[in-house]
Amino acid sequence: MRKIVLDTETTGLEHSLGHRIIEIGCVELVGRKLTGNNYHQYIQPDRESDEGALEVHGITSEFLQDKPRFADIVQDFLNYIRGAELIIHNAPFDVGFLDSELCRADAQLGDISTYCNVIDTLVMARKMRPGQKNNLDALCKHFDVNNTQRELHGALLDAEILAEVYLRMTGGQVHLLLDSEQEASDAGEVIEPRCLSKNRESLSVVRATQSELEAHQAIIDNLGEAGLWPSS
């Protein structure tokens, strides 16, 4: 399934208090690969950012003065995410703001669930790392994702970083082809199936012991929703 890693920046913490989205950043994953088909938009919120929010993202009202309003870009945004699976860190925050903006633009548009399923990487991280810090910076450190360029929060940059974190949380495998095969594929060559042994009957089968199966299941149970290959 096509996956869209999404992040937003806002004028404050509570959409119920009239705070608005000022930036949307999305990166696309297809087949566990970044496609480069990204979506990025700054938005005129028609209000000032709270001082605390401005310290986080650094996006000033002067910078946003000539940017389009959400109602002007909503159809392009919905066309981009439609039918995808959204991956968001702390999804209730971003989805709450997006639903609020959709309602404000046109109540008949519905909410985000009308267009997409949502995966919350914060929920995944808490199941994998209970009792630990699971903000994006902490996950970057844990999964060895470079975030040194993240001096200020930015929606597109944070979406790119979260995409790397998500891939590592769910197995760490970004490219499914070997490097030599990837180069051949990029050059338009046909990749022939590889056979590990011409005499398959000579291959011995070593089955896991009961203790190994139990250890494997314990790891899968600890991963929760992030577990891709349950043993049962």
Active site residues: 153
The long-range contacts involving 204-210, CB below 8 angstroms and separated by at least 24 positions, are none
Three-state DSSP at 3 gives strand
H or E element in which residue 127 lies: helix 121-128
CA distances from 101 to 13, 77, 116, 118 (A): 14, 12, 16, 17
User: In which residue are the tokens 């050059």 written?
Assistant: 187
Q: Cα 167 from chain centroid?
A: 9
Contact status, residue 43 vs residue 67, Cβ threshold 8 Å: yes
At 223, the amino acid letter reads: L
Tokens (6 digits) for 38: 């990204």
